[in-house]
């Protein structure tokens, strides 16, 4: 079973490179797709395609910001004086002084600032690449651990709300016969009051025919107001949500669709509400579903 991953997380790593100490930071928040933004130091710009590929292979969704910087260190062990270049510069300086005796000799700072007088050993590109990738993998591992922890918390919250929806459905299903009978009694009384007295005095319809007509109207209204189908669909969708959450992996889009279906059934239940109990239950269902929908938006 794969972990249910959140799209929100942060991770970083500090590492040594042939250029000096470097640092990498990765932040991610929710997004419909993988939206990757990179800020990489000029010295490491050549690795941008590699970094993009590495992150894309590990993350499926989310707005991801990755920063990769390096602080150069230069010391005696990494930089040498180019003796040939200094000798050539000295010779040129002597020639200038012969031509311009009043000119000042070059200072040490001016000599070191002259192009070519400092020699930097060739950079080990393979060692730099290995250091960058190792740090990137370490940061991605930490990011995934962070996203997995939050994803597990979200999954637990979804399961809890599924239990709440299931409890409401079971309570309504148990009370359906009682609710139907109460609605039918109330509707029959109103129809009797509205139609019984006027029509019983006419010759067009008998009292038995009026009673049959009332029964038919009550039955038709009862069928239209029946919510058994909506309750069954709610139970089915809740079971599917649990299955998807338990399966783990990239479940965000599937759960988002299920939230739409759950909300549709809750709306239909509310529109068919013929008693205060049903109306209140529909409101509670929509509240739970909205809470789930907000959490689902954070899942990969």
pLDDT at 190 over 80: no
Instruction: List, for residues 57-70, the tens digit of each pLDDT value.
Output: 999 889 999 999 98
pLDDT of residue 223: 44
Contact, 242 vs 233, CB < 8 A? no
Most confident of 27-41, 89-103, 268-282: 27-41
| pLDDT computed for residue 106 by the predictor | 80
- CA–CA gap between residue 38 and residue 45 (Å, rounded): 10
- Going by pLDDT thresholds of 50, 70 and 90, the confidence category of residue 203 is very low
* Per-residue model confidence (pLDDT) at position 218: 52
pLDDT at 221 over 60: no
Q: 78-116: per-residue pLDDT in tens?
A: 567 778 888 888 888 888 888 888 888 888 888 777 787
Candidate ranges 39-43, 82-86, 199-203; pick with highest mean pLDDT? 39-43
DSSP per-residue letters across 22-80: EEEEEEEE--SSEEEEEEE-GGGGGGHHHHHHHHHHH-SSEEEEEEEEEEE---TTT-E
Q: What does the buried/exposed string (b/e) look like for 51-85 if buried means 16 or more CB atoms within 10 Å of the residue's CB? A: beebbeeebebbbbbbebebeeeeeeeeeeeeeeb
- Among 51-55, 89-93, 230-234, top mean pLDDT goes to 51-55
Which of 63-67, 122-126, 251-255 has the least mean pLDDT? 122-126
- Please give the share of the chain, as a percent, with pLDDT higher than 90: 43
The confidence score (pLDDT) of residue 110 equals 82
Which position has the higher pLDDT, 281 or 19? Answer: 281
At 226, is the pLDDT very low, low, confident or very high (cuts 50, 70, 90)?
Answer: low
**Cβ proximity of 121 and 80 under 8 Å:** yes
> pLDDT at residue 118 above 90?
no
Angle between helices 228-247 and 125-191 (to 10 degrees): 170
Question: How far is the CA of 189 from the CAs of 178, 225, 226, in angstroms?
Answer: 17, 18, 20
pLDDT over 80 (residue 285)? yes
Residue-level pLDDT at 114: 79
Q: What is the pLDDT of residue 183?
A: 64
**pLDDT attached to residue 68:** 94
């Amino acid at each position: 079973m794969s972990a249910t991953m959140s799209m929100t997380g942060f991770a970083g790593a500090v590492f040594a490179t042939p250029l000096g100490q470097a640092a990498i930071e990765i932040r991610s928040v929710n997004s419909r797709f993988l939206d990757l933004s990179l800020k990489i130091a000029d010295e490491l710009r050549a690795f941008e395609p590699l970094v993009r590929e590495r992150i894309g292979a590990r993350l499926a969704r989310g707005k991801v910001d990755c920063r990769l910087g390096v602080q150069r260190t230069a010391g005696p062990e990494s930089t040498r004086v180019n003796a040939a270049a200094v000798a050539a510069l000295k010779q040129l300086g002597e020639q200038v002084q012969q031509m311009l005796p009043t000119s000042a000799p070059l200072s040490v700072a001016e000599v070191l600032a002259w192009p070519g007088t400092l020699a930097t050993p060739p950079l080990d590109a393979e060692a730099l690449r290995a250091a960058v990738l190792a740090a990137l993998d370490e940061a991605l591992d930490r990011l995934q651990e962070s996203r997995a922890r939050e994803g597990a918390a979200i999954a637990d919250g979804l399961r809890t709300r599924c239990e709440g929806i299931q409890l409401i459905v079971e309570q309504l299903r148990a009370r359906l016969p009682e609710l139907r009978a109460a609605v039918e009694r109330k509707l029959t009384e109103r129809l009797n009051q509205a139609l019984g007295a006027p029509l019983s005095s006419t010759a067009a319809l008998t009292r038995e025919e009026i009673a049959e007509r009332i029964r038919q109207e009550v039955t038709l209204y009862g069928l239209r107001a029946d919510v058994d189908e909506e309750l069954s669909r709610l139970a089915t969708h809740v079971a599917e949500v649990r299955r998807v959450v338990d399966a783990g992996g990239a479940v965000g889009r599937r759960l988002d669709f299920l939230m739409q279906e759950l909300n549709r059934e809750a709306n239909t239940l509310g529109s068919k509400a013929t008693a205060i109990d049903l109306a209140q239950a529909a409101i509670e269902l929509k509240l739970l579903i909205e809470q789930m929908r907000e959490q689902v938006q954070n899942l990969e």
